[in-house]
Amino acid sequence: MVSISLLCSVVAALSAEPTDNPFLTLYPAGATGAGRAGFSTSNFPWKNVISVDAKVALHDPATAYKTAAQHVLQNNSAGGVVYFPTGTYTFKSSFKLVDRVVLRGEPTTANATGAKRSEPGNLDPKTIFEFPDRSYSQITCANCTMSGIVNVASDGGGVQFTQGATSTALDASMPFLLVLSNTFRNIAYKYPVPPPGTSENMWPYRFATAISITGDSNVFVANNVVAKATRTASAKLKLIAHPVDNDDTVPAGRVQAASPPPASPCTMSTDFPYDNRYGIRHNSNGGVTANVSIVGNWVYQNGRVGVMWYSNDGLGAARGNSLTKSPSRQGLGVAVMYNHVEVAAGTVCWTVEGTKLARGSDTNENRGYNQAGSGSFIAYNTGNVNRQRTPSGCNQAGSYETTDGEGILQQIQDGAAAERDMWIDNDLSAGSAGPLMLYALHSIADLTIEGNTAGAGGTLQIGIVAGGSTPKNGTAVANLVCKDNKPAAHCHA
């Protein structure tokens, strides 16, 4: 709840509403670090700012936003900004943004990433939104043409924006989605009903996401922190336990019994894993992805994926010709640059979905970066990627680890071909896991993999890795350029 002293500060702040373009303030001249993305909000009326009514925001910030947004559009139908001054605002549930009305908190230009990259920077927004615990509340904007959230610290509430196919704005030529200089923590959702075999609905929904963006054009997700959870709760579970498991508990050299003992129940309590969720997730609407960037974010996680995206450079199946071989035609889709993903080390994955004890064949992903589609530009990212241990019995931590734990991955589940991607100077060396893998693909064409360092200090794999879906004669490879990687990349079938 907002205090009386805060209320006074809100009133005093009304005369200091921010009217700058926050994107250009943080990235002068629109620079994004590589010059491959031309994101722009230059035609947006940033000076059309309305502050929320302090008295209303004290008790009902969602209504305060909606009312202020109406005034914004009355002033200028092309859009504008609703401003929440410094303070803590308590929301009862998810709330919807109005198309063409950006939500903005107290301005800050602090950095999301720190000098060490393994630690977040000093970004600490003073406009704080609080949401109910584990409700997976979200700040949403569905089918929007121009929307954004800037300079907000969200505690318990994620973001979910989807870009509309048609524009209702006056300037339909420049839609945008912007998520800039925010912090997100405690983004979690316990199942609304108990999963089968679970005594209480206390395990996280596996697809909870801190920042979820769906859009093909002019999308910018930058300088955000997805932070380690600060809330705590106990999870009471009734799981199915497998006392003998042929993939993680049978000692080396011992043959699995023909008839293993039957499964037995396991009742246990453990800490609720708030950070077992996705960090940043970008999806496509099915078109060509142009001017889409994920830049300079810091993501903490304990399971799932730090940053994942879908890129479509619009070149289709063109490959191996003089045009697509050129580096100038590679990496023209989604740009992922200067991010850091920190995956918790030394933790136990007791269960993946809250139904049975995890085993060594299970995956909880624990992945740094996941690409799908064609034409990704992945450069200058870092990560400390680690896998989780699995239990050896009920309430007993084992030494075997879950599968996956990739640093950067494109796999067969995301499409049979990898084309026109660039992986440049990414450093995953800090983690005990973190290979850079093109896994079980049918074909690879016109890629550049240069200057990357894999996990475990540069000793894990980089390049092509065969899997169950790999063709019998191997992955078809054309114009795959690999150099200066540590270790040397495997770049042939």
Q: How does pLDDT run across 132-141, given as a tens digit for each residue?
A: 999 889 999 9
The pLDDT value given to residue 189: 87
The pLDDT value given to residue 448: 96
The pLDDT value given to residue 367: 97
Q: Which residues contact 384 (CB under 8 A, 6 or more apart)?
A: 118, 341, 342, 343, 345, 428, 430, 431, 434
The pLDDT value given to residue 254: 37
Enter the pTM of the model: 0.91
Backbone angles phi and psi of 30, in degrees to 5: 75, 15
Q: How many CB atoms lie within 10 A of CB 281?
A: 25
Q: Are 213 and 281 in contact (CB under 8 A)?
A: yes
The pLDDT value given to residue 192: 66
Q: Are 127 and 84 in contact (CB under 8 A)?
A: yes
Q: How does pLDDT run across 147-181, given as a tens digit for each residue?
A: 999 999 999 999 999 998 654 444 445 789 999 99
Residues of the chain with pLDDT below 50 are 1-15, 33-36, 167-172, 197, 244-260
